[in-house]
Amino acid sequence: MKLTPWFPGTVKPARPGVYQREFPTFVLFAEWTGRRWLAGRFTARCARVMCVVSNQQPSDPDCTRWRGLAEEPK
């Protein structure tokens, strides 16, 4: 999977979608709604599916760095 460089959490993604977020002990995939991060999942597909089928809880902290997927998740 092709990925972008890491961005600081103070910078928000330009578009809604699935991104990787780096936490102290692991990296998760999380959905950016355009306004907030949703709770992370272990695969990009799960992050996308969970966003569509549930009223998912927001994620914190917003200061966690993130990087984008340079191609659509499969």
The pLDDT tens digits of the residues spanning 26-40 come to: 888 888 888 888 876
Residue 7 reports pLDDT greater than 90: yes
Half-sphere exposure of 66 (CA within 13 A, CB side): 29
Q: How far apart are CA 25 and CA 27, in angstroms?
A: 7
Confidence band for 6, pLDDT divided at 50, 70 and 90: very high
State the average pLDDT over residues 11-39.
86
Question: Would you say residue 67 has pLDDT above 90?
Answer: yes
Condensed to tens digits (0 to 9), the pLDDT of residues 43-52 reads 666 556 554 4
- Where do the domains of the chain lie? 17-68
Tell me: pLDDT of 59 over 90: no
